[in-house]
Structure 1
């Protein structure tokens, strides 16, 4: 896709992967709307922040309307990045934490995607990128809720691409391993380190798939740090 001057929406933009993606897409000449609860430190003429909690479908609807009105066109790219995780054994997890993860990680993908697809169909072009996790391909002890949401994102992505591919719309699901972000702030079992991938690495993968030939479709991309524990000790 030729992405210059086209409109992109990125959710969860305050920091991490979302912020890195916003900055890279802006550098490539896109008009970018950032949807999130907290505004990022981005000062660019082509960036428009819209306060939005993706758990609330009415807020998502308003964010979409404000985006289209501000930029004056349909959305060509949607990056469903907003997400969070709460650890704990299934029988010890609160209903509130369980619902928080599904409302954010799964329902937010639905609320956002359903709004941009009609415009993409009309343009016969578009790309939806869903940020899952390696937790979306396997089970992880004390992360049943988070794994469940990311497995759901995988299933949604696989089903959706088959629904929209004949309209020229791509759907790509990315499964990152550990990324050096604030995701691990509340996960005591993981220590953030420079051995993790950088948010910029995931953003570069997003850009790569966006710029691919119209008939070349990345369905699933799994990425991991090469040496998650650092170099081998002699």
Structure 2
């Protein structure tokens, strides 16, 4: 348990500055947009903060395994403890990040309504339900942030286990599925249409299932190699 807590503590120390910088930059950029719109009375401007948050958490997810492995192996943590530490840290960061994003969104939305009527903030839940609430905003953010963090985490484990060639193969397959018409219709169009026709909670459930699989799957790979030998040779 002590090793597990150590991994969590190290991850939080390493990520805390990143958290502060990211939210300060996001708040500042949108704040400047509000100021510009209020002063110059420009045409209708729409800001969307979800995309930036999700990209940020993909980056966080891609760093977690390496970070947990580097520090966990230095004080003798087992594979299971390192993996639990990385995944547990991802869940905590996702819950905290979702809460911060919800609060930031509500604050900025209130500010735009007060100072810049020509500007509006769009939350992803507005495309999923006609009447988004604070709870649905937070729940959707939690599910999507968990998913993108888990996907980034899985990619980092694949890279660590098989090297860059594995990512090139996966990237090539994804690109082909988007380029080839039959594959695009069979995979992406059906996926998007299915999500568009689903309810808010059905979509959230599917996203959480993807996150769970992306977090759990790579553990099978981690069990098959010597993490300490690998760490010394990288």
| TM exceeding 0.5 | no
The structure number with the bigger radius of gyration is: 2
Question: Where on the TM-score scale, by shorter chain, does this alignment land: which range?
Answer: 0.3 to 0.5
Higher strand content, 1 or 2: 1
Higher helix content, 1 or 2: 2
TM-score normalized by the length of structure 1: 0.34
TM-score normalized by the length of structure 2: 0.34
